Structure 1
Amino acid sequence: MSEVNCIKLLRNRKSLSINEISKTLGINWRTAKKYADDDQVPKEMVKKKSGMMYEENWGEIVSDWLGEDEKLKKKLRRTNKKIFNDLVKMGFTGSYRTLCYFIADWREGKDRIEERDKNSERLDHPPAEAQVDFGITEAVKDGKYIDVHCLLMTLPYSNVAYCIPLPGENQECFLHGLKAMFNQLGGVPKKVRIDNLKAAVIQPRGRNQEATFTDEFLQFASHYGFEPQVCNPRSGHEKGNVENKVGYIRYNFVTPSPVINNLEHLSQILEEHLTKDRERVHYEKHVPIRKLLEEEHQYLLALPDEDYPVFKEELMQANKYGEIVIDKTKVHIPKGYNYGQLHVIKYWDKFKVISPYGEILHAEYKSPKPLKT
C-alpha cells in the first residue's frame, strides 16, 4: 500500500504523467496507470462455491439431512448411498461422486468448528449443554417434615431448569433422575457438566489428571450419546447456573414446604411450576425462556429408541441377626442368615433381595427419612 500511496501522491499532488511515474518508480506503465487513476476501494472477497450442490437447492437438502443425522447414533444415520438414492427419487441428476465430495466438505467444515471450540475455554453457554447438581429441600409427608434430595439440570443457553425429587443421592437415583429429565426435555444435551459426584466419579479431576468415571455412568452416557464433563477442583463457577437455580427453585416453589403424598406428587408440582416459569422473559436476551428452549431443541440429541433400565446389583451377606445394610440402613431379611450370599437388586425407589435359588426373600420401597428433631 505504501507504493500505491506513492503513485497517488505523484499523480495528484505532483501532477506527473503516467510515463513520468513509470520511469520515476521503475514500474510497468500499466501498473502505474492502474493505481494512479483507478479508485482502490476495498471489496468483500467472498468466494462463492459453484456447482449444482451449491447453485441449486440440493446442498441445503443434504445439509439438513446431515444435521438431523448428527442427533442420532451412528448405526441409525443415513449412508452416502442412501442419501444419493433418496435424492435421485427427488429428481437429482448429479453423480454419486459429486454428492460424496459435498458431504466430505460439509463434515470437514464441521470438524474445523468443533476443533476450534475445543481449543478455547468459552465463557458463553452454547445450546444443548447442560449442568447437573443435587440440592436438598423440605416437604411434609404423613404430617412429618422430610428431607428431599432433588436432582437439577439446567440449560444455561435458555436458562431452563428441570428438577426430579429423589430419596437419596446414590447411583441409582442419579441415573434415574437424569433419565427422567431427558424425557421431560424431549431430547438429550450434547454435553453434561457435573461436580465430582460420588454417584458418577471415582477419581476427581486433579491438576494434571482427568476425572475417572464409574463404569455404570459411562455406560449410561454412551447409551444416550452425551459427553460427560467434570468441573475443575474448587471451580464452582463452572456450573454456576445450576447452583443458582437450586436456591431459585427452593425459595420460589417449595417455600413454605409443600404437603405431598409421595415423591411422584412432588415431581408433578415442580414440573408444573417450572413449565409456567418458562413464560418469564430471559434476563439478558429479553425474549421468553420458552422461545429460547424451542430454539435449543434443534441442537439436542434424539432420545434413544430403547429404554435404559436403571438398577444396581450387589452380593451381600447377612449378619447373625439376618440383617443387611441398604443405603446405610439395616434391613432385616427373613431367612437371610440361612444363605451364604444374597443377591440384592437396587432401584431408585425400591430394592429386592433374592436367594441363591431365585426366591425373592424381601422387597421394599424406599422413602425419604423424617427430619431429626
Structure 2
Amino acid sequence: MLAMPEINYIKHLRENEDLSLSEIARKTGKDWRTVKKYADGDVPTGKIGIRKSGMMVEDGYGELVDDWLEEDFKLKKKERRTNKVIFEQLQKEHEFPGSYRTVCEYIQHQRPHIKELKEKRYERLEHPPGEAQVDFGNMTIVQNGAYKDIKALILSFPYSNAAFAYPLPAENSECFLEGLTKLFHQAGGVPTHLRIDNLTAAVVSIGKGDKRVYTDAFLGFQSHYRFEVQACNPASGHEKGNVEKKVGYIRNNFFVTAPLMEDFDQLAEWLSKQMQKDQKRLHYDKEVLIEELWKEDNKSLKSLPTQDLPIFSVSTYKVNKYGEITVDEEAYVVHKARMKQSLIIKKEWDKFTCYTNDGEMLYQESRPYMNKSRSIPWEDILEDWIRKPRSVTYSRYFKYLPKNVQIYLARQKETLKERVIGLKKLLATHTMIAIGEVLSFDNRLGLKPHELGGILSEKTAYPVKMPETYTPQVLLNYETDLHLYDQKLFPQAERRVSIT
C-alpha cells in the first residue's frame, strides 16, 4: 500500500492535471496497475487489525507451543519436535481438546515470527546472550617441586561477563579442541557464536577479508557442535576485548602466586570451582550479579550433542635406521618396530600411540610437553631466608617445599636459621625431593642438617655385594667350555685336519 501523500499526488495528476494513466505511471515511476487502482478508486481507509482468537491463545496452549519452538531452535533440525509430536504432547500432558489442524495452523504462523524476533533481538544487542569469545593465556604452576608453564583456554561471555577456564599443556589443535569440549560441558551448552583470533590451532591461512581457511579438524568440530565462527581481523585484539581482559584477570587472581598442581584433572577441577565463585560478584557495568546475568546467557546456548566428538589426529611416520620415530620434535625408540617400517601415530592432547598398519599397538607414551618443567631457584631463595629467617614460613615459596621439609623447618623456631643454612649446603649435592624423602620418617625430623647429609650419602653410595647362599657349590666359579658347543654345532669342522 502506498503512503497517503503518494495517493494524493496520483489523484491530483488524474483529476486536476487531466493526465492519462500511462503518463502518471511514467511521471511517478509506479506500476500502471498501481496507478489505476489509486487514480480511479476510492481513498483507502485504515483498518483495525483484530488478531484471531481461539483456544490456542485464550487457553494458553499457544504460549506453551511458543516455548517449545524456542527450545527446539537450539537443537539440530532432525532433533526438533514435529507438528505431530507437539500435538500429541499437548494432548497427553495438557489435555488439549483441539484438532491437529489447529495446532499446525498456529505453528505455521508462529515459527517464522519467533525466528524473526530472535534475529532482531540478536541484531539489537552489541553482545547478545549466548555469544562467546575464546583465547589462550600463559600461566605458571608448580608440580613436583618445579615450575611448569601451561596454557589456560578461556571461554568468556561478554553479555554476562561470566567465564570458564580449562588448563592445558600446549596450544596445538588437539589441546584446543579438547579444551573447548570441556568448556562447553562446564557452561552446560554450546555458544551460538564463537569469536576467535587467528589461532594456528584452528586457522590455516588468513586470506583476504574474511576468507579464512580453517583446519579440517576445526571445521569438523564446528559442524558437530553447530556454532557460528566470528573471526577477528589481523592484529585486532580489541575485537575480542572481553576475553583478552579475562586472561589477565584470571592470571592476576588465580595464578599469582603459582598454584600447586598434582595433575591436569585436579587443576581443572580447582580452576572450575574458582570460576564458579567468581560469578558471585557484580558486573562491572550493569551492577547486577554475574550469576544472574549468566542465567540469560545460559538460556540462549545451544544444547550439547548426545556424544562428544573424539579429539585426536592421525599421521604416518617411518622408523629410521636407529629404530626411532620423531613426535613433537622428540625422538623415541620403538623396540618392537623394524627399520623403515611405517607406523600410524595417533596423537591425543596428552599422549600418543603407535600402531602397525594391521592395528597392533606397539608403543604408547606421554607427549613431550607433558614432562617439561623448569627448576625453582632454591639456592637464591634460601640465601634470602638466611638473611631473614623470620620470613620463611610466610614466604610465597614455602608451600612449594615438600611437605616433610616444611615440617622440618617449622618445627623448631630457635634453630630455623641453622636448618636453612644446612639445607642450602645439602642442595649442592642433593635435590629437594630427595631431602623430602629422607625426612619422611618421623624420627629424622629432629636431626641436624649434617646428620641428614650422612643418611643421604649412604643412600647414594654404591651398595655392597651381599653374600649369596642359594647357588650350589658345584656351580660356583664354573666356567663354560665353548669348545664343546663348537663340536655339537660344527662336527665337520672339528674332523678336519689342520696342516701347518
Q: Which bin holds the TM-score, normalised by the shorter protein?
A: 0.7 to 0.9
| Deviation (angstroms), 1:54 | 2.8
Q: Is the 8 A contact 1:206 1:233 kept in 2?
A: no
Q: Which amino acid aligns with 1:142?
A: N
In the TM superposition, what is the alpha-carbon distance from 1:205 to its structure 2 partner?
5.1
Structure 1 unpaired stretches of 5+: 1-44
Name the % identity: 46
TM-score normalised to the size of structure 1? 0.81
The counterpart of 1:98, out of the listed 97, 102, 111, is 102
The residue matched to 1:342 in structure 2 has which SS? strand
* Distance of 1:273 and 1:225 partners within structure 2: 28
Q: Quick one: distance in 2 between partners of 1:123 and 1:192?
A: 16
Asked if structure 2 preserves the Cα contact closer than 8 Å seen for 1:224 and 1:304, the reply is: yes
* 1:85 alignment partner in structure 2: 88
Report the structure number with the largest CA radius of gyration. Answer: 2
1:354: which partner in 2? 355
Cα displacement string for residues 124-176 of structure 1 (whole angstroms, at most 9, x for unaligned residues) = 21011110111111111122111101111101111111111111111111110
- Give the drift of 1:65: 0.9
How far did residue 99 of structure 1 move? 2.4
Stretch of structure 1 that moved more, 190-199 or 333-342: 333-342
Q: Relative to structure 1, is the Cα distance of residues 46 and 193 closer, same or farther in structure 2, using a 3 angstrom cutoff?
A: farther
Question: In the TM superposition, what whole-angstrom CA distance separates every residue of 1:198-222 from its partner, at most 9, and x where no partner exists?
Answer: 1111222532x42222221121122
Is residue 130–residue 156 contact of structure 1 (8 Å, CA) maintained in 2? yes
TM (norm. structure 2) is: 0.61
Out of 172, 176, 195, the position equivalent to 1:193 is 195
1:213 — aligned with what?
214
Whether the 8 Å CA contact 2:130–2:297 is kept in 1: the answer is: yes
SS at match of 1:259: coil
For residue 108 of structure 1, what is the aligned residue in structure 2? 112
CA pair 165-271 structure 1, distance change in 2 beyond 3 A: same
Conserved 8 A contact 2:181-2:308: no
Return the structure number with greater strand share.
Answer: 1
| Alignment-mate amino acid for residue 107 of structure 2 | I
Aligned to 2:17: none
Partners of 2:333 and 2:151 in 1: CA distance: 25
Higher relative contact order, structure no. (Cα contacts within 8 Å, ≥ 6 residues apart)? 1
Structure 1 range deviating more: 129-138 or 52-61: 52-61
SS in 2 for 1:130: strand
- Residue 68 in structure 1 maps to residue 32 in structure 2: no
- Residue 15 of structure 1 is matched in structure 2 by none
* Structure 2 Cα separation of the partners of residues 261 and 316 of structure 1: 33
Residues 22-73 of structure 1: per-residue CA shift (max 9 Å, x gap): xxxxxxxxxxxxxxxxxxxxxxx99562222333311101001111112222
For residues 99-132 of structure 1, give each alpha carbon's deviation from its aligned partner in whole angstroms, at most 9, with x where no partner exists: 22322222222443466578x6x77210111101
Give the residue type in structure 2 aligned to 1:349.
D
Distance, in Å, in 2 between the alignment partners of 1:114 and 1:212 is 29
Backbone CA RMSD of aligned residues: 2.4
Using the alignment, how far apart are the partners of 1:205 and 1:117 within structure 2? 31
Check 1:307–1:341 CA distance in 2 against 1; reply closer, same or farther (3 A cut).
same
Matched-pair contact (CA < 8 Å) for 1:148–1:368 = no
Distance 1:196 1:368 in 2: 28
SS in 1 for 2:245: helix
Q: Does 1:369 align with 2:376?
A: no
Moved over 6 A (4+): none
More helix by share: 2
Compared with structure 1, are the counterparts of its residues 205 and 55 closer, same or farther at alpha carbon in structure 2 (3 Å cutoff)?
Answer: farther
Letter in 2 for 1:75: K
Once the two structures are TM-superposed, the CA of residue 300 in structure 1 deviates from its matched residue by 1.1
Q: Distance in 2 between matches of 1:198 and 1:258?
A: 28
- Check if 1:124 corresponds to 2:89: no
Mapped to 2, the partners of 1:202 and 1:227 lie a distance apart of 18
Match of 1:293 in 2: 294
* Stretch moving more, 293-302 or 162-171: 293-302
Q: Which amino acid aligns with 2:151?
A: H
Name the count of aligned residue pairs: 327
3-state DSSP of counterpart to 1:338: coil
SS in 2 for 1:314: strand
Q: Partner residue of 1:39?
A: none
Deviation at 1:227, TM superposition (A): 1.4
Alignment of 1:31-70 (within 5 A): 47=49, 49-52=51-54, 53-70=56-73
* Shift in alpha-carbon separation, 1:124–1:342, aligned structure 2, 3 A: same
Secondary structure of 1:348 counterpart: coil
